Structure 1
Amino acid sequence: MLKSFILNVSLLQLFILCLSLSQPSSASDFEQGKVIDYSPSILSQRDRVEPANRIILDRLNNLLPKVMAETDIDLWLVINREYEEDPLFYSLVPHTTFAARRTTMLVFSKDEQGNVERFTVSRYPITGFYETRWEGGSLDEQWKRLGEIIAEIDPKKIAINTSEHWPLADGLTHGLYRLLYDALDEKYRERLVSAEPLVIRWMETRTAAELDIYPHVVNIARSVIAEAFSSKVITPGATTTDDVAWYIRERFESLQLRPWFQPYVNVQRKGDKIDKDSPFFGASGVVIKPGDVLHTDVGICYLKMCTDTQEMGYVLRLGESEVPQGLVKALAVGNQWQDKFTDEFKTGRTGNEILAKTKKAMKRAKILASTYTHPIGFVGHAIGPTIGMWDNQGNTPVRGDWKLFPNTAYAIEGNIKTQVKEWDNQWVQIKLEQTAVFNGKKVIYLAGRQTEWHVVR
């Protein structure tokens, strides 16, 4: 009863916390003194364990049997060595796991009824997650035991994490592969297959429990951008783009949130010499001045879910009280690109097909756009259909040929280029990125999207 009470309190606490930042703040909130203290809204390291583990166990109990059946895999091996863990290892083990201990062997066996039994053949137990099937001994004995277990199960297919094209599905090292090969009887060596489709479906699928939490995580990232793009942080004529980037990084660190890449901030300004054909506009490492257009790229991971966000800001000139209409229209064109792009998300379409249809839609709308959207989830640049690349607006072999599935998440990423009247028709680039989920029918932004400029007064 006590355990049930604690669990229910934890769930209630998490629900309240997820509601506490229901909408990202705007830069104007900070200009008006509405500075937000995020600390009460973010779980301590200790309190993150229960919801993170609950999500992982839910996936193991309910999602894994489905994707193993869908991909027709009888036995899946995830074998790791300390300091050389499989990239997906941390999606399968408790939140407090920092490394594989010595050689950690995770085994997933599907029976004829579709039930999946999971266990470990390892020196150290993974309590509460995996049954232990080895009493200990030498490394040679460990491999021998794994071979014996596989012979007892007698699977038709033994899936291992090897892949030519998908890094997240290529986690089995060559050394471990050789040891596994030597541990198997000849007939089982012939049954080794790539776990590639299983890994993709496991990593790309977002569960209901994850989607309960995900909006809160994205909202935190967006709110920190709003804080950074305000006079709380920026003093025009003194603050540099690097100052703002490091403010974002250190703000996340102070909240015990892990960025998965260094935040990036750049500016565009009237009078810049612009090459319209350049893939990206903007300069970094400079002092921010009145009249500058700001851009940042930010990503964090919290409770196993990662975000990727790009937003735009404007620094008012002396005498200005609002963003120039030409820039307002430019952002609206960026939103138009988002709408036309996400309208092309249809279950079963490949990433290459979505990109091709988006390009046709942009041509009809006379919008100069570039699309380079990627899946997101346990890692920032995740696994699933690639929809364009910044340096390749044509087909992406293999990864662009993967089909779109429901309940998958994406960083809706790209840019538009347009001319701004107030800048003597100079070209300006609006670079946008928001984390979203495709539910099988439509794309939903997990914490809204930017439709108004962040304004530094």
Structure 2
Amino acid sequence: MGGTCRRGVFPGGADMSRRLRDERVARMAAMATAALLSSCAPAGAPADNDRPRVSAQPVELFDGRVIPGMPELLGLRAQYELRLEWLAEKRALLLGQMRTHGIGMWIVVSEEFHQDPALYYVAPPLQYARRRDVMVFVDAGEDGLAAYSDYWRPTADYRRFFDPLPAARNARGIQDTPTGLRVLWERYEPATIGLAIGGNRGHDSSLTHDSYRFLADAMGPEAESRFVSAAPLIEEVFDTRLPGELEHYRQLVLATDVIAQTALSNVVITPGETQAEDIKWFFEHTIAELGVGGKPWFEIHVAVQRFNEASGEMILYIHPSPDDLVFRRGDIIHMDCGFDYLGFASDWQKVAYILREGEDDVPDGLKTALRNANIVHEAFATAPRPGMTGWEATLAIAAELEDVDFLPSLYSHPIGYHGHALGPAINARDMDLSSPPEWDSHLRAGSYRSIEFSATTEIPEYDGGTVRVPMEDDGYLTPDGYEYFRPYQTEWYLIR
């Protein structure tokens, strides 16, 4: 950034030869660097060619489990074009959402190194690197929604969604933002000005003190007296799904499932050798190799439950496991993973069992434990309804589980643009229903949810020790409950 561009020479004759020679030298240098880095890889880290990989085709394992083939995800440009289409559809909904929440003007302020979470969902998904960008959305009455921005270098795509602030530009093309904000205030005099303050999460409380003061000083004390929390509006913007998003999100969930199932198999795990951190790095490398700009949105990790046959006791369940933990036969592995793609996030937890010598299946007690988890899956699928509060949905699910002989624990959250997205929680840790949450909202039809919970069951083969089966599946809300994007796990993933 900030450099000058030279006009290139048409590639012909000597210029063409020189360019080809330079490219050849660059390739040779890159190959030499790669070889050097490979030779310096830390002990225990496999070379790139030796690392396990996912398959584009279905893979059948020794126990009959079939890992689906990795779906073909969209490249970066195709993602960008699709997100522009979705942005236009979401923009058409914004005026109605603002009126629902009584917001006459909504101001989004995004700062370099502190980007507002709404930025890429109210503006084109470009690379923003400016001290402060201001976007203003106004209910202009009969004229509909007006949208303004002081963005310094608007592309053609950006100009589709914003008019410039009504203010002059200096010699560098930078607008006088305070003057523009003041003009908008005087032109529209909105009854309320919504800001990202007063919410419950970073998504809806993102405005910094400095940016608040910037707005207040620019617009004046009367405008400041009309500043209100835009948190309910921001939640609705984030939690409202478009019909066209669903199948693309399903592909993200499928890709997550393929990586997780591959990680929880002998493709990646060799008992007595593979360490917990190897799972994390397999996931990291695999996402990078997809070439779709995806990345994990949290630290991928595993946890292990282990029964000590000699002592007859379960070892302490540590979540997450230490990086250097080596998987052993008889281990119960729980993996928690997810990644960003196409402006969305996935969140996924699955379990596997490493067969002991002489075993060809899991102990019957573990089969019961997984069936118990599936009972909770079904309660989520049947009990919640659009319009319920998170607490009402929690109580409805709890009623379905009232007579079970295991201990469920619910800790489900919305998902969508962010892994831990805005919206109501469905939460009853260890089925504690003693008090409703301090803050709650309503479930929206079509919204996505991370259906996250655990089921703890006594295992006879472990001398009555308990095993917790954590699960996390992504689903979407229908009039009849939650539909899962992928079939939930009903059989243990086996490793030998």
TM-score between both structures, scaled by the size of structure 1: 0.86
Which ranges of structure 2 fall in alignment gaps of 5 or more residues?
1-55
1:136 and 2:136 are equivalent in the alignment? no
Return the structure number with greater relative CO, CA threshold 8 A, min gap 6.
1
Q: How far off its partner does 1:47 sit?
A: 2.7
Match of 1:456 in 2: 495
Query: Which SS does the other structure have where 2:160 is aligned?
Result: coil
Matches for 1:433-448 after TM superposition, within 5 Å = 433-448=472-487
How many residues are matched? 428
Bigger shift: residues 63-72 or 407-416: 63-72
Tell me the alpha carbon deviations over residues 235-288 of structure 1, each in whole angstroms, 9 at most, x when there is no partner. 11111222122212221122132110121112212227449xx99778444211
CA distance in 1, matches of 2:66, 2:376: 32
Q: How far off its partner does 1:29 sit?
A: 4.2
Q: Which amino acid aligns with 2:327?
A: I
Bigger shift: residues 350-359 or 132-141: 132-141
Q: Which amino acid aligns with 1:77?
A: I
Match of 2:138 in 1: 109
Match of 2:88 in 1: 57
Which of 78, 101, 126 in structure 2 is aligned with 1:47? 78
Q: How far off its partner does 1:225 sit?
A: 0.6
Q: Which amino acid aligns with 2:83?
A: A
**Distance change in 2, residues 1:273/1:279 (3 Å):** same
**Distance change in 2, residues 1:281/1:259 (3 Å):** closer
Q: How far off its partner does 1:354 sit?
A: 2.4
Match of 1:8 in 2: none
Structure with larger Rg = 2
Match of 1:249 in 2: 284
CA distance in 2, matches of 1:413, 1:279: 18
CA distance in 1, matches of 2:224, 2:301: 48
Q: Which amino acid aligns with 1:378?
A: Y
Contact 1:376 1:410 in 2 (8 A): yes
**Distance change in 2, residues 1:226/1:385 (3 Å):** same
Which of 277, 292, 296 in structure 2 is aligned with 1:259? 296
1:78 and 2:113 are equivalent in the alignment? no
Match of 1:289 in 2: 328
Query: Which SS does the other structure have where 2:124 is aligned?
Result: coil
1:351 and 2:401 are equivalent in the alignment? no
Which of 452, 455, 474 in structure 2 is aligned with 1:416? 455
Which ranges of structure 1 fall in alignment gaps of 5 or more residues?
1-23
CA distance in 2, matches of 1:328, 1:371: 21
Tell me the alpha carbon deviations over residues 45-99 of structure 1, each in whole angstroms, 9 at most, x when there is no partner. 23321112222222112x212311221222111122222221221222222x233
Matches for 1:29-40 after TM superposition, within 5 Å = 29=61, 38=70
**Distance change in 2, residues 1:279/1:240 (3 Å):** closer
Query: Which SS does the other structure have where 1:381 is aligned?
Result: coil
**Distance change in 2, residues 1:253/1:69 (3 Å):** same
CA distance in 1, matches of 2:150, 2:270: 58
Query: Which SS does the other structure have where 2:159 is aligned?
Result: coil
Match of 1:69 in 2: 99
1:387 and 2:426 are equivalent in the alignment? yes
Q: Which amino acid aligns with 1:386?
A: A
TM-score between both structures, scaled by the size of structure 2: 0.79
Contact 1:65 1:116 in 2 (8 A): yes
CA distance in 2, matches of 1:206, 1:128: 22
Q: CA RMSD in A?
A: 2.8
CA distance in 2, matches of 1:49, 1:251: 22
Contact 2:69 2:258 in 1 (8 A): no
Bigger shift: residues 418-427 or 286-295: 418-427
Contact 1:28 1:454 in 2 (8 A): no
**Distance change in 2, residues 1:321/1:290 (3 Å):** same
**Distance change in 2, residues 1:33/1:154 (3 Å):** closer
Matches for 1:423-434 after TM superposition, within 5 Å = 423-434=462-473
CA distance in 2, matches of 1:348, 1:147: 39
Q: How far off its partner does 1:198 sit?
A: 0.5
CA distance in 1, matches of 2:472, 2:58: 16
Match of 2:189 in 1: 154
Which of 200, 212, 216 in structure 1 is aligned with 2:251? 216
Match of 2:124 in 1: 94
Q: How far off its partner does 1:115 sit?
A: 2.7
**Distance change in 2, residues 1:86/1:290 (3 Å):** same
Bigger shift: residues 112-121 or 447-456: 112-121
CA distance in 2, matches of 1:219, 1:318: 32
Matches for 1:150-229 after TM superposition, within 5 Å = 150-229=185-264
CA distance in 1, matches of 2:183, 2:458: 68
Q: How far off its partner does 1:139 sit?
A: 7.6
CA distance in 1, matches of 2:373, 2:65: 29
Contact 1:258 1:300 in 2 (8 A): yes
Q: Which amino acid aligns with 1:115?
A: G
